[in-house]
């Protein structure tokens, strides 16, 4: 279930997803400590940005992914990675959401 949604300065839409029981293996200690046991999801180029680097990277691209609402139960598909800057696991980029 989507527990939080916010726009990052780089134009990505960030979500915190509470995983269903049995999916805890997708989390690490940093997810547990800093994200209350949620996994981070990032939808790239979902919002306008004024930052130079992401503005150039997203130029001419409109992300077609429907963004879920807080409280919605979804399945997120995308690339599962370790965010080396923050230390938690995440799906970045998300390629689809489904119910």
DSSP codes, 43-86? ETT-S----HHHHHHTTT----PPPPPTT---EEEEEEEE-TTT
pLDDT at 75: 97
Three-point CA angle 7, 11, 12, nearest 5°: 65
Separation between Cα atoms, residue 96 and residue 81, nearest integer Å: 16
Question: Which helix H or strand E contains 32, and what residues bound it?
Answer: helix 29-34
Separation between Cα atoms, residue 4 and residue 17, nearest integer Å: 7
In the block, which residue shows the tokens 């599962």? 80
**pLDDT tens for the 99 residues of the chain, in order:** 999 999 999 999 999 999 999 999 999 999 999 999 999 999 999 999 988 889 999 999 989 999 999 999 999 999 999 999 999 999 999 999 998
pLDDT at 62: 87
pLDDT at 85: 96
pLDDT at 68: 98
pTM of the model: 0.94
């Amino acid at each position: 279930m989507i527990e939080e949604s916010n726009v990052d300065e780089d134009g990505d839409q960030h979500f915190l997803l509470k995983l269903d029981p049995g999916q805890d293996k997708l989390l690490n200690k940093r997810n547990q400590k800093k994200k209350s046991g949620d996994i981070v999801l990032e939808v790239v180029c979902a919002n306008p940005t004024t930052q130079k680097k992401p503005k150039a990277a997203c130029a001419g691209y409109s992300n077609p992914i429907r963004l879920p609402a807080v409280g919605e139960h979804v399945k997120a598909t995308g690339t599962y990675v370790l965010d080396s800057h923050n230390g938690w696991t995440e799906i970045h980029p998300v390629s689809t959401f489904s119910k």
